[in-house]
Amino acid sequence: MADQEKMNQMAKELEELKALIKALIKGKDAESSSTSTPTESSKELCINLPKPFTGDCSQFSNFKNALDIYFAINEGAYNSNARKIGFALSFLEGNASSWKTAFIQQHTINGTLNLGTYADFLTAIKKDFEEVDKKGDTIYKLPHLKQGNRHAEELVSDFHVLAHHTNLISTSC
């Protein structure tokens, strides 16, 4: 029975991806004419892709930063709301996959997927996944920081990252 549920979930996700691809193709057709050729600025540079986001709020900031960098480097290739949102949605896995499903359902009207603006997408995803009290969480983590089997440099690096998040001390030289 679990296999059947898994197959049903996969079929549902496949349909969502099909709708997303249609929306992306529709956005591409509206943005460029069929006679245009790719320019240097529209080519996607091969840099590290963002790591999949599983819904862990402590990792949301890293995920968003990775998206920001990717879009900044590849601004010609990701020059529309649909492309940015579709790219970001493709990295939502685990618990975040349920959020993706709900987002797609909310933005599908009469069988047409309208993803809205990237700014609205960011507002929505931040509302559910951005850490509420990052400073407080970081202050809690500081006294629990342990070296363990790590090199001292790794411990010092982790301390500096945490200290930066608290704004309690200056991290400048």
pLDDT for 1: 59
Cβ contacts of 82 within 8 Å, gap of 6 or more = 23, 24, 26, 27, 115
pLDDT for 54: 95
Closest by CA position to 31, among listed 81, 72, 74? 81
pLDDT for 135: 65
Predicted confidence (pLDDT) at residue 166 exceeds the cutoff of 80: no
pLDDT for 140: 61
pLDDT for 89: 97
Token code pair at residue 86: 């579709």
**Quick one: average pLDDT of 59-82?**
94
Burial-class residue 122 by CB neighbours within 10 Å (0-12, 13-18, 19+).
middle
pLDDT for 56: 92
Which carries the bigger pLDDT value, residue 155 or residue 124?
124
pLDDT in tens, 110-140: 999 999 999 999 999 999 998 765 666 666 6
Token code pair at residue 30: 């509206």
Closest by CA position to 100, among listed 57, 53, 61, 56? 53
pLDDT in tens, 9-62: 767 776 776 677 767 666 655 544 444 444 555 788 889 999 999 999 889 999
| Residue 108, strand partner residues | 113
pLDDT for 13: 73
Predicted confidence (pLDDT) at residue 69 exceeds the cutoff of 90: yes
